[in-house]
A and B are shown apart, each in its own frame.
Chain A
């Protein structure tokens, strides 16, 4: 297809504003899929995604549309992960497009994720087509939604197209707008092939299947191509597109979207955002490539020690289709053998844990998540630390920087006070408050990433009884008074509970942990002291008193067998206990506290 008849676009929306329904409707009306297939053809693949109403990954879909002007266009819908945890992946997907449909629920209006996604799309200079969806709902307020578009996002309201993806209203208008408003792809003027690798998945038979957008030249089977960042060259085996099932094509030309296979065995050989070019006659790389780095870290351990190998293999499989997930083995005195894992953000962490549990049936426990701190040492060097175990001694530390995020919180007016208090509690600073409509405001705040990891989202939901929404984007680093909090049992540290926290929070957290540990650590023949310590200073202390006797009062002939079995069971249980110093603690105790 000539570039003038190609349009590449994506759909961005807040959760539940109707992105998936609209995608399906577009596929249907262009005849890409039949109605009867719609149920199975939903773009969201994983249960988990459907449950959470978000799409993590979907194939780009190629549709053919005969416009009112009588011409047929190739429309490529490039899906985005839809959450800023995957900001880089989103930005790569968006950079494969020239335009984006920004879907807003007419009954809900602009939400936090609408704002965050809009920012990402406008950074890529995409043409935005606002779509006001669900106009069939009784509470729909198109006028208000349009007003918010102008006020919050500075998007002219006359651009907006009212629609109901569910009822099929306004779909043709959207398709026409895509043809008319989204600019056609333009060749870059480079001498040869330039294609952007913006996603990939692993196929057992074909190896890595890479999603590409051709920016310049063309790509066909048999061609030798080079991936500029990985530096590796491959012979292209197969070229194709999705409708939404994969189908092979002779070639992909400038402006087109699809996939290639090239016998690539390891997903890590294809970096997201890499440029694919002609190996014999290479062109320059496309802009915007970044190495992705995990932002959030946590230890993941099998609850049953014997599952270590199974967990390792599950993580390997998971990584095949999630190259952003990083893991390496680590050991903990309390939890045994496990893995230190890196994630793009909190949602990513949750998704990986859930997938390990559901898809791989692993029984796992995760340690307190940590972010990456920049530790400036007295010798002038800087060390990045994501694991409290590797925190340098206080005397060597000059200052510590922690990652910050800009959060957007949208909440009903009556909750402003509570929301401000929550942000303050989370060490955040509100820098902007904006009235969205008669009943809602949007707060923009700078908050340490570390503070939103644990319960920020849940607290917003509970304060606003479900009406609030939150999203965030990375916003650099800032100096911060961070300390390492250690939990000690009779003077010995319990590594699984060490964490890096702000000094103002350390004592409270230490006290809460000590109290919980006191409940779960079994009594021993001696008193057990549980302490929270910052450096050498004890900030909280609890004691598990010694048990003063352990003897069955009544034991005669008929009791011996039962009693023996009981003692044998206890003895077995003690073998499985973790011994920290001289204190025996069942692994279940650690798990209970980590779960709480």
Chain B
């Protein structure tokens, strides 16, 4: 399949800078400032120019790192370039923000150029745990930033939370959820702490500084699901919860084609789980277009150097044979509570889930992990807890 003629509708941009690297974070980012950020912005503009011809973004996601660390001038430059390349106007445009780096000026600037969704890396609302995680913001800054964003006109805000943080108790988790719900955000992402290799948190675990209480982590996850449902959040992916339109909230446009996915679900992420194409720009970013997966260099100077020479900064390429690719699409789509509408799967992969994976589907149904209707196959609440075990069965 050729990537040059197709029009890609999703764009991810990685901003590999942070004010401070968190204890748990394994993403490619570095605490850096000044010249390198300027050089990065310049390189990113080159990269945008290289892909603009094949890109008509319906969803854009600026992740990191900390995209909000770019200063007003740098944002200005970047947004103007996007305007020049005719890349504005996405139906959903998310920028990740750290509560410590949100100013009203910056928020307004983003909103003016069409950013309409903010993902706030809150992680916890407990001072002691924020410190434990190495976050630079305080709980007060969360509430203040949230108000700032609302004041700047953002009507779709996500709050990122973490649970099963070492020393976090169930009481602390309940308190954090109480306060998070009180914010009245449209979206909530909640992740159990992952101990990724090469992070300080992993090293501390290995050194025996704390134990992982699996039962508590499990109970926290169950509590989360129950309480989200009671608070009007619809559980639509393993770690993601979103509101439906109504009660003064208008549904973002265009309306989602699958009625099982809540209106305020992150469309950009849904595209990942449903095997859609996307461009990925910036150091370490992954793109997936026409079955070809590429990954940029996870090294900012090297990334810049390549682009300054006019080259795409690919570090790796991966292209799977059709069935293997379909297996991957099937596996990751099951992370969503909506599962796979058979028709949708056929469109995304070219295969029929019912004929190719009939055995796995009935095995999962018999296990009490999944349900099948005439139009779709999905994991139930129990099955979702074992989404990786289920995913493994679908890989070919």
Contact = CB atoms under 8 A, between A and B. Distances in A.
A420 to B, nearest CB: 41
Contacts of A548: 214-215, 218, 385
A553 B192 contact: yes
B272 A525 contact: no
B384 A551 contact: yes
Nearest to B278: A557
Interface string B268-309: 010010000010100011101000010100000000000000
Nearest to A551: B387
Contact of A549 (B12, B218, B331, B335): B218
Contact of B284 (A551, A555, A558): A558
Contacts of A567: 331, 388, 391-392, 395
Interface magnitude class on chain A: 20 to 34
B210 interface: no
The residue among A550, A551, A557, A560 with the most chain B CB atoms within 10 A of its own CB is A557
B146 to A, nearest CB: 22
A570 B389 CA distance: 9
A167 B87 CA distance: 95
A570 B391 CA distance: 11
Interface string A528-565: 00000000000000000001111111111110110110
B388 A550 contact: yes
Interface string B52-77: 00000000000000000000000000
B238 A553 contact: yes
Given A548-B218, A560-B328, A570-B392, A555 B335 contact: yes
B286 A571 contact: no
Nearest to A556: B272
B357 interface: no
A571 B385 contact: no
A555 B332 contact: yes
A549 B386 contact: yes
A554 B24 CA distance: 13
B314 interface: no
A550 B215 CA distance: 13
A398 interface: no
B194 interface: yes
Interface string B337-367: 0000000000000000000000000000000
B191 A564 contact: no
A166 to B, nearest CB: 53
B238 A558 contact: no
A525 B386 CA distance: 9
B78 interface: no
A568 interface: yes
Contacts of A551: 238, 335, 384-388
A564 B221 contact: no
Nearest to B384: A551
B286 A561 contact: yes
Contacts of B392: 567-568, 570-571
A414 B295 CA distance: 71
A27 to B, nearest CB: 59
Contacts of B391: 567
B49 to A, nearest CB: 22
B338 to A, nearest CB: 16
Nearest to B189: A554
A170 to B, nearest CB: 62
B194 A552 contact: yes
A550 B288 contact: no
A549 B215 CA distance: 10
Contacts of A552: 194, 238, 387-388
A554 B194 contact: yes
B389 A560 contact: no
A568 B395 CA distance: 7
B319 to A, nearest CB: 11
A522 B269 CA distance: 33
Contacts of A550: 385-389
B239 A564 contact: no
A553 B218 CA distance: 12
A52 B107 CA distance: 78
Given A557-B12, A557-B280, A549 B191 contact: no
Given A548-B218, A553-B194, A558 B280 contact: yes
B286 A557 contact: yes
B211 interface: no
The residue among B193, B218, B269, B385 with the most chain A CB atoms within 10 A of its own CB is B385
A550 B272 CA distance: 21
Nearest to B266: A556
Interface string B188-228: 00011110000000000000000000110010010000000
A554 B295 CA distance: 19
Nearest to B325: A564
Nearest to B387: A551
A548 B215 CA distance: 8
B393 to A, nearest CB: 8
Nearest to B286: A558
B70 to A, nearest CB: 20
Contacts of B331: 564, 567
A549 B328 contact: no
Nearest to B335: A555
The residue among B221, B293, B384, B388 with the most chain A CB atoms within 10 A of its own CB is B388
B286 A554 contact: no
Interface in B374-396: 384-389, 391-392, 395
B318 A561 contact: yes
Contacts of A563: 332
A564 B328 contact: yes
B239 A554 contact: yes
Contacts of B239: 553-554
A570 B385 CA distance: 17
Contacts of B272: 556-557, 560
A217 to B, nearest CB: 76
Nearest to A555: B335
Nearest to B293: A561
A569 to B, nearest CB: 10
Given A525-B386, A561-B318, A568-B395, A554 B191 contact: yes
A91 B386 CA distance: 66
The residue among A525, A547, A550, A551 with the most chain B CB atoms within 10 A of its own CB is A551
A549 B280 CA distance: 31
A88 B173 CA distance: 74
Contact of B221 (A549, A554, A555): A549
A556 B269 contact: yes
A434 B232 CA distance: 88
Contacts of B218: 548-549
Contacts of B191: 553-554
14 contacts: A525-B389, A550-B385, A550-B389, A551-B238, A551-B387, A552-B194, A552-B388, A553-B194, A553-B238, A557-B272, A557-B288, A560-B272, A561-B295, A561-B318
Interface of A: 525, 547-558, 560-561, 563-564, 567-568, 570-571
The 3 closest A-B pairs by CB, nearest first: A549-B385, A557-B272, A553-B191
Given A552-B194, A553-B191, A568-B392, 9 more contacts: A548-B385, A549-B385, A551-B385, A553-B192, A557-B278, A558-B286, A560-B286, A564-B328, A568-B395
